[in-house]
Amino acid sequence: MATYKRKIKVLRIINRFNIGGPTYNATFLTAFLGDDFETMLVGGMPEEGESDSLYILEKYNVTPFLMKEMVRKPSLKNDKAAYRKIKDIIEEFKPDIVHTHASKAGALGRKAAKSCGVPIILHTFHGHVFHSYFGRVKTAIFKQIEKFLARKSDVIVAISDIQKEELTKTHKICSPEKVKVIPLGFDLKVFKEKKESERKRVRAYYGIEDDEVAVAIIGRLAPVKNHHLFLEVIDDVLQKTSKKVKCYIVGDGTEREDIEEKVNKINQKYNHVIQMTSWIKDVASFNAGMDVICLTSKNEGTPVSLIEAQASGVPVVTTDVGGVRDVVLEGETGFVVARNNKEKFAKKLLELVENEKEREKMSQNGWNHVEEKFHYTTLVKNMTNLYHDLIELKKNELDL
């Protein structure tokens, strides 16, 4: 590895500090990148209905710069203010690398970095909005913006092979040569440890009996997460199973009122089998008490809840979206079902509810599958190597 006269300065910009893959990714890359680097982390705050994730940064001794101007919804006033603030930060910090994460940070951060002459510019797609978010015209506009921004980027980082294919072949955002695949990384050991130590306590806390099967879904209560499909599936399973089932909806968001209304109808039919918990910070302990975790999204990047579920030894049932097939081993750690196929989803969930031996088999496979592939040390190693490769290419522009 090359040696440098000084530390390499990395400015990392994230949309907002809410619970999810981008926060973990940015936190681990800030905390553990190594002695060659000095990293400044900048980002906005969660929007209404989202849980503040700053406790994650505190756990790893990361102090971010918080930008109130960085908001999720397009706003000419806020976006202009955020852009100016990012330029000011670049002028003061003088980064060698600007690395943006997710769409808003990617748009403002890359534009500012290019304007200020930053030598190396990268962007990580944690997901995308090219379907299931907006109408045809708005989606086309976002695609054109991302194509323009890709030309300002030295590298586009995709978090899965499937996402790379979507970006390069399906949506044609940039050429395959510009995309580097680096999976997300997490601190997963705690999930395995708490599976053994916390299961009885958590089940007692939620009143889950030994002969009851606990099913959960974890994520924002937003249209793209498609909780309505989850509730339709639960209704179908409850009609067919002889097992006692309890269900948990973990999260909050704009769809809460509508989801609550549907939950109340199901609870009236089946004697209060579904509980809405809002956000839970200690997901590792919560997962320990569950038997199956579901995901019904219309669109995803790399779904964190499925990685954490498998690290907890909990089998999953999920729609086949985004990078799901890079995360779940079909038939080994869970089931992957075509998007919006309610009948197949219900059939696979019913299979797991009814078959304890199959749940146990998948539980044993889960940890082995995610332990190394999605550990933060693997993420840090891969990103460090990419940074060094880019520095070597741009060494004439850098005083290193």
Segments of the chain scoring below 70 in pLDDT: 1-2, 48-51, 127-135
| pLDDT value, residue 293 | 98
Q: What is the pTM of this model?
A: 0.81
| pLDDT value, residue 343 | 97
Q: What is the pLDDT of residues 82-95, one digit of tens each?
A: 999 999 999 999 99
Whole-number Cα distances in Å, 33 to 27, 37, 71, 237: 10, 7, 27, 46
**Main-chain phi, psi angles of 348, to 5 degrees:** -70, -40
The contacts of residue 59 (CB under 8 Å, 6+ apart) are: none
Q: Which fold has domain 189-370?
A: Rossmann fold (3.40.50)
| pLDDT value, residue 112 | 97
Spatial distance between the Cα atoms of 232 and 194, rounded to a whole number of angstroms = 31
* Residue range 8-186+375-397 in CATH 3.40.50.2000: yes
| pLDDT value, residue 114 | 96
Residue holding tokens 């939950």?
263
Spatial distance between the Cα atoms of 205 and 199, rounded to a whole number of angstroms = 10
| pLDDT value, residue 128 | 57
| pLDDT value, residue 36 | 92
| SS3 of residue 112 by DSSP | helix
| pLDDT value, residue 338 | 95
Spatial distance between the Cα atoms of 207 and 360, rounded to a whole number of angstroms = 22
Decide if 8-186+375-397 and 189-370 have a common fold.
yes
| pLDDT value, residue 133 | 54
Q: What is the pLDDT of residues 206-247, one digit of tens each?
A: 999 999 999 999 999 999 999 999 999 999 999 999 999 999
Domain boundaries, the chain: 8-186+375-397, 189-370
